[in-house]
Amino acid sequence: MSPTRNSVAVVCGRIAKHLCAKHPDLLTTEFYKKDRKGRLFLDTMRNSLGATIVAPYSLRAKAGAPVSAPIEWSELDAITADGIRLRDVRGRLDRSGDPWSGLRAQVATVGELARGLDRLTVL
């Protein structure tokens, strides 16, 4: 698969479908909350040209300087959407390290991702 404008979105959609098929009680791509029935929403709509996301460690435009930050699964029920503040980030990184420190070693092309999915299952 040669990279095109929408090839990343297509591969991300395929990954989401694969994950939802393997874990139907936990994951969904249903857009409307009423249709999710307690499952985690895999939002593949942020993977296309012109889509916007909030980058990790971005300050939010709210009082107290909350930060968009990765969390551990164990923190999911304990942290609110604005529960991590700018003043907390250095301590979090010092305690647990940068969750993306090894990310560059995992780089793959869109074509490699698609071929890997083909080996897992046909969607």
User: Which of 73, 71, 78, 79 is closest to 95 using CA atoms?
Assistant: 71
Per-residue pLDDT reduced to its tens digit, 64-118: 999 998 888 888 889 888 899 999 999 999 998 888 888 888 888 888 888 888 8
Confidence band of 123 (pLDDT split at 50, 70, 90): very low
Q: What is the rounded CA–CA span in Å between residue 92 and residue 111?
A: 35
> Residue 24: its pLDDT value, please?
96
User: Which of 52, 88, 82, 50 is closest to 68 using CA atoms?
Assistant: 82
DSSP label at 27? E
Quick one: tokens of 98? Answer: 């940068």
Mean of per-residue pLDDT scores for the chain: 85
